[in-house]
């Protein structure tokens, strides 16, 4: 079906879900069970601030409990509403299934502009919101584990974890009630960067498959590819940083709320980040040209477009004019169902949100496991691994000397080889493996089934089949 008007985020998710299930052979009852959102809790609570009581509205939605705990971020934004939270919760169900993290799907949100409140006030609001959710087991290490999303970060997660600990003083696993915490509060190395890192690993995997690269009318590797990024927050900044510093990509434009900054030679991402941290805006950045109409920059000619801000930024109003042959959805739902139709017909390849931004939940999974096992990854084996490598290097050097080769292993090789993997290396390795494996599962369907002509449908098919299998095993 062709969509002539733009659908809401939730309707878009519904349409994409329907397209996938129409290609499956699920019993109607099971299909409906997977489609519906199990429950959404709405809470209105008051906090006394600045001499008066302010009432806030928040949500926690649980889409599917085929696996528990359920997992999903908490968003702070004025635009938060029940429909949006439910759509995001559904995406979490499918995302977790696709990257094989053993969770059901959930999401939370609070209608608030975090910029309107100072840190102390935000702490009071967050603790009160958390209190309401904890009371109802909507935050709990075994049942529902939130994480950061738009407008929230490590700081809010630390407040939530502390609130849970105060209310559950004898729970030895209390720290696992939320992920995305600072390291000193039970977090894990590499969580802050994880979603942006996942974008990098997803693109690297995509470019390992020349057949897929050709379908996007591109060639070669990531090297010197021109990239436009919308949203320079946690996800957008980290993706830009890693792709420019480690894969030699050129970030030719960054689009923010108040406009865009462009530099065809490639922006200096660290300098732009420092400027934005200092001034709160990308305006007046000396390393590029500023353009007030930010959203028109989405239409700029580039190799890869990375929407990393909000849902619906690529819609029926601009889809025809999008120039990028490859879009990777770092944000959740940045392409509406109508725009998706237009872009698919034009042959644009879209790496879908459900897969592309799954780095966050994947590393959250590692953090949750770390909290439950009460030990940092690598602590037991790192030095032992180094000692074994040392033995091998020494022996190789001895053999080479004894056989008169006269050469020794280089210091550079020795340094790289001898270093045992610490937590950060292990987290990155686990994330890389998850992103590669999930991409391969999607592309297998994309190429093997004639009725699957895009990665999004393939992603839904893999995910829905896994959720269905889980319900079947449970005997539902």
Q: How far apart are CA 170 and CA 293, in angstroms?
A: 54
Tell me: does residue 126 bind ligand NAD (CB under 6 A).
no
CA 111 to chain centre: 21
Report, in Å, the least distance between residue 273 CB and ligand NAD.
Answer: 11
Q: How far apart are CA 6 and CA 229, in angstroms?
A: 23
Report, in Å, the least distance between residue 332 CB and ligand NAD.
Answer: 4
Residue 104 tokens, joined? 């059901």
Give DSSP secondary structure letters for 330-360. -SSS-B-HHHHHHHHHTT-EEE-HHHHTTHH
The stretch near ligand NAD (CB under 6 A) out of 168-176, 206-214, 226-234, 371-379 is 226-234
Q: How far apart are CA 342 and CA 337, in angstroms?
A: 9
Q: Between vectors from CA 138 to CA 118 and to CA 85, what angle results, nearest 5°?
A: 70
Among 62, 96, 235, 335, binds ligand NAD (CB under 6 A): 235
Residue 141 is given by DSSP the state T
Tell me: does residue 108 bind ligand NAD (CB under 6 A).
no
Among 189, 226, 234, 336, binds ligand NAD (CB under 6 A): 234
Cβ pair 106, 70 in contact under 8 A: yes
By the 10 Å C-beta count (0-12 exposed, 13-18 middle, 19+ buried), 124 is classed as: middle
Q: How far apart are CA 290 and CA 262, in angstroms?
A: 6
Site string for ligand NAD, 239-268 (x = CB under 6 A): ----------------xxx-----------
Cβ pair 100, 434 in contact under 8 A: yes
Report the candidate in 193, 114, 226 with the shortest Cα–Cα distance to residue 159.
114
Residue 6 is given by DSSP the state P
Report, in Å, the least distance between residue 56 CB and ligand NAD.
Answer: 18
Among 310, 400, 418, 424, binds ligand NAD (CB under 6 A): 310
Ranges within 143-202 binding ligand NAD (CB under 6 A):
148-151, 195
Ranges within 350-409 binding ligand NAD (CB under 6 A):
357, 360
Ranges within 28-57 binding ligand NAD (CB under 6 A):
none
Nearer CB in complex with ligand NAD: 140/357: 357
Report, in Å, the least distance between residue 95 CB and ligand NAD.
Answer: 8
Tell me: does residue 332 bind ligand NAD (CB under 6 A).
yes
Phi, psi of 174 (to 5 degrees): -55, -40
Nearer CB in complex with ligand NAD: 198/215: 198
Residue 409 is given by DSSP the state -
The stretch near ligand NAD (CB under 6 A) out of 116-124, 327-335, 343-351, 410-418 is 327-335
Cβ pair 13, 333 in contact under 8 A: yes
- Quickly list H helices, 185-268: 194-206, 210-215, 234-246
Among 108, 231, 288, 378, binds ligand NAD (CB under 6 A): 231
Tell me: does residue 233 bind ligand NAD (CB under 6 A).
yes
Catalytic-role residue among 107, 175, 241, 370:
107
Report, in Å, the least distance between residue 309 CB and ligand NAD.
Answer: 4
Nearer CB in complex with ligand NAD: 341/353: 353
Report, in Å, the least distance between residue 334 CB and ligand NAD.
Answer: 7
Number of residues that bind ligand NAD (CB under 6 A): 24
End-to-end CA distance of the chain: 31
Report the candidate in 303, 305, 331 with the shortest Cα–Cα distance to residue 318.
305
Nearer CB in complex with ligand NAD: 299/386: 299
Nearer CB in complex with ligand NAD: 148/338: 148
Report, in Å, the least distance between residue 149 CB and ligand NAD.
Answer: 5
Residue nearest ligand NAD by beta-carbon distance: 233
Residue 163 tokens, joined? 């609130």
Let me know if 107 is a catalytic residue: yes
Q: Which residues bind ligand NAD (CB under 6 A)?
A: 148-151, 195, 230-236, 255-257, 294, 308-310, 330-332, 357, 360
Which residues are known to be catalytic?
A: 107
């Amino acid at each position: 079906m062709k969509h002539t008007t733009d659908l809401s985020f939730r309707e878009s998710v519904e349409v994409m879900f329907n397209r996938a299930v129409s290609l499956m052979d699920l019993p109607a009852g099971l299909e409906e069970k997977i489609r519906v959102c199990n429950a959404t809790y709405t809470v209105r609570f008051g906090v006394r601030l600045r001499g008066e009581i302010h009432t806030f509205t928040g949500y926690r939605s649980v889409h599917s409990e085929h696996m528990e705990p359920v997992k999903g971020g908490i968003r702070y934004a004025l635009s938060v509403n029940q429909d949006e939270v439910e759509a995001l919760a559904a995406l979490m169900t499918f995302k977790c299934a696709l990257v094989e993290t053993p969770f059901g799907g959930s999401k939370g949100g609070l209608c608030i502009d975090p910029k309107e409140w100072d840190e102390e006030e935000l702490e009071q609001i967050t603790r009160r919101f958390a209190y309401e959710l904890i009371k109802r087991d909507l935050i709990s290490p075994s049942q529902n584990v939130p994480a950061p999303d738009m407008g929230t970060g490590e700081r809010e997660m630390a407040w939530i974890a502390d609130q849970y600990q105060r209310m559950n003083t004898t729970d030895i696993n209390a720290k696992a009630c939320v992920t995305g915490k600072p390291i000193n509060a039970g977090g894990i190395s590499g969580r802050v960067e994880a979603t942006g890192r996942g974008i990098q690993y997803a693109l690297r995997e995509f470019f390992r498959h020349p057949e897929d690269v050709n379908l996007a009318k591109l060639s070669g590797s990531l090297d010197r590819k021109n990239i436009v990024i919308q949203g320079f927050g946690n996800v957008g900044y980290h993706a830009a940083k890693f792709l420019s510093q480690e894969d030699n990509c050129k970030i030719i434009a960054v689009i923010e709320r108040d406009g865009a900054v462009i530099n065809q030679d490639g922006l200096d991402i660290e300098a732009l980040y420092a400027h934005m941290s200092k001034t709160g805006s990308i305006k007046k950045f000396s390393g590029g040209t500023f353009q007030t109409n930010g959203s028109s920059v989405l239409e700029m000619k580039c190799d890869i477009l990375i929407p990393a801000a909000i849902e619906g930024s690529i819609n029926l109003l601009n889809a025809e004019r999008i120039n990028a042959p490859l879009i990777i959805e770092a944000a959740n739902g940045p392409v509406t169902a109508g725009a998706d139709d237009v872009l698919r017909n034009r042959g644009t390849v879209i790496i879908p949100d459900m897969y592309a931004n799954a780095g966050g939940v994947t590393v959250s999974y590692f953090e949750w496991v770390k909290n439950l096992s009460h030990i940092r990854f690598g602590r037991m084996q790192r030095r032992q691994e180094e000692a074994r490598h040392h033995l091998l290097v020494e022996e190789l050097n001895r053999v080479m000397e004894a056989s008169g080769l006269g050469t020794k292993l280089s210091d550079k090789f020795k340094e790289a080889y001898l270093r045992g993997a610490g937590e950060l290396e292990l987290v990155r390795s686990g994330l890389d493996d998850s992103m590669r494996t999930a991409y391969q599962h999607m592309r297998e369907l994309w190429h093997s089934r004639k009725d699957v002509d895009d990665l999004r449908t393939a992603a839904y098919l893999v995910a829905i089949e896994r959720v269905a299998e889980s319900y079947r095993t449970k005997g539902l």
